[in-house]
Amino acid sequence: MSSEPESTPEQKQLPKPPGLLRSSGLVGIMTMLSRVLGLVRDMVIARYFGAGAGADAFFVAFKIPNFLRRLFAEGAFSQAFVPVLSSYRENQSLSDVQRLVNAVAGSLGLVLLGVTLVAILGAPVLTAVFAPGFLDDEVKFALTSDMLRITFPYLLLISLTAFAGGILNSYDRFAVPAFTPVLLNLAMIAAAIWLTPLMDEPVMALAWGVFIAGALQLFFQLPFLMRLGLLPRPRVDYRHEGVSRILKLMAPALFGVSVSQINLLLDTVLASFLQTGSVSWLYYSDRLSELPLGVFGIAIATVILPSLSRKHAAASADQFAATLDWAVRAVLLIGLPAALALALLAEPLIATLFHYGAVTDRDVAMSAQSLRAYSAGLLAFMLIKVLAPGFFAREDTKTPVKIGIIAMVANMVFNLILIFSLAHAGLALATSISAWLNGYLLWRGLRKEGAWQSQPGWSRFLLQLLFANGALAAVIVWLNAPVSVWLANGGYQRAADMAMLVGAGVAVYFVALALAGVRVRHFRHR
């Protein structure tokens, strides 16, 4: 492939992008597949390792690079890279876009390689920083450090994967990046089942599964970049105008887009001082709360960022505001019933998915406590995902960083207040409260700047949501069985009962929406 392809008339006359509802639905379906397999992955991990010391050690070793991935690759980098790339796509030739991609690939790759080497050498230091409570347990501390040396290169691989996905998303190729996380779950499931018996320390198999998954995810996307004509030829060039813009936007974006992830990591640090199992209880409940967040919240955010960036580049202020309003309504439509269902079905969900093998009745009860606390902030987590792009699309990263710092400080204060009375559940509740503060401040800032303007029909829409969610809560309370029944039933019975409950709840909710006058056409938007 030529490193400097020339633009063609077809490339200058860009195709009309698909509707946001259709694109969000496509990303949501792919993400749903990934999240379902993620739950299967967690069920396998729970079955093999439960909530013991080995599981705690792995979750920390995985959480550190995974946290940095969300903070850096899917957070600051993506939110800075996609608007700049969209601007180049809108206003420059394909050869200019190729030069930008080459420069970013080389510059990003060099930095990530250096960070990865330092982290591998300093794994014990990172473990002490992120899980200081493990210092009192030499075996757990050493195991975490050893696994971190294997899992940390995942940051390098998945950051380059996010870079490739950002290019594909900017050209409205949403399906491939959305499908890519499936490979992580498949690799970890395979590692848990087939590598575990081969390891002297069985839980080390999970660390190798993470490493293998990172490589698979990166190489999976390269053929699609080649088909698009934008396969990177890495070139280190920090003086490139586009690279300079990205770097300028990234520094404050590190805080602005990923405060919720910083808060979750603070939860892990504090949970490491609590009784054994606390890290795992938070992990299992966080995984469940992330299912609707990933399937819907992140799907909508993924789709609207390129759209908002193009509308900002084209100076379409009214369309920009209408797109943000559409995103907020879409989040409310899905986020409210999801949060309600998680709160009402906390124990049944945990029991259905994780109450096997080494997971005890007590583990179910403890995980359910933190799941309810996370469910209180689920809607806020989703709103943050769709409101933050309203700033980043306009290349404003200073406002979100100010808001992020406020929310992070608030989270630390709430952690210290609630951990003494509610233990691990208090950490989850503090995260939820600070997420609401973060979401409110983002919304207020967008409204004040005129980037978000309320569209007609909000009062009617809120009444429709109230009616539909009331119907959903009623059917769940009516059909749900006592917790003791869920714990006593076998796995197949629990799965059948949960499928019935979820099916009935979804049916009642959407029928109630239809009766209230909500139609699919109301959510079609470009």
The two structure tokens encoding residue 481 = 């069985």
Alpha helices in 171-203 (DSSP H): 175-179, 181-190
- Contact, 120 vs 152, CB < 8 A? yes
Q: What is the pLDDT of residue 379?
A: 93
Is 382 in contact with 335 (CB distance < 8 Å)? yes
CB 3 within 8 A of CB 102: yes
Q: How far is CA 398 from CA 200, 304, 350, 382, in A?
A: 49, 20, 39, 21
pLDDT value of residue 6? 41
CA-CA distance, 448 to 389, in Å (whole number)? Answer: 16
Name 491's Cβ contacts closer than 8 Å, sequence gap at least 6.
Answer: 352, 355, 356
Q: Between 204-228 and 153-170, two packed helices, what is the crossing angle to 10 degrees?
A: 30
Closest to 512 in 3D by CA, of 479, 463, 448, 446: 463
**C-alpha of 29 from chain center:** 15
Query: Would you say 351 and 494 are in contact if contact means Cβ atoms under 8 Å apart?
Result: yes
DSSP 421-484: HHHHHHHHHHHHHHHHHHHHHHHHHHHHHTSS-PPTTHHHHHHHHHHHHHHHHHHHHHHPPPHH
Domain ranges of the chain: 20-254, 271-456
> What is the C-alpha to C-alpha distance for residues 181 and 326, in angstroms, rounded to an integer?
27
Q: What integer pLDDT is reported at residue 258 of this predicted model?
A: 56
Distance separating alpha carbons of residues 524 and 389, to the nearest angstrom: 20
Question: Following CA atoms 427, 431, 434, 438 in sequence, which dihedral angle do they give, to the nearest 10 degrees?
Answer: 160
* CA-to-CA separations, 193 to 45, 167, 201, in angstroms, rounded: 9, 35, 14
Look up residue 257 and give its two tokens. 């887009």
Instruction: Kindly report the backbone phi and psi dihedral angles of residue 316, in degrees, each rounded to the nearest multiple of 5, phi listed first.
Output: -100, 75
Contact 231, 222 (CB under 8 A): yes
The one-letter amino acid at 115: V
- Average pLDDT for consecutive 10-residue bins of the chain (526 residues)? 39 49 68 79 81 80 81 71 82 86 90 91 90 84 92 91 87 83 91 88 91 94 90 88 84 62 70 81 84 73 74 71 85 91 93 81 91 94 87 80 86 90 90 92 89 82 94 94 90 91 93 86 57
3-state SS track over 19-63? CHHHHHHHHHHHHHHHHHHHHHHHHHHHHHHCCCHHHHHHHHHHH
Is the pTM higher than 0.75? Answer: no
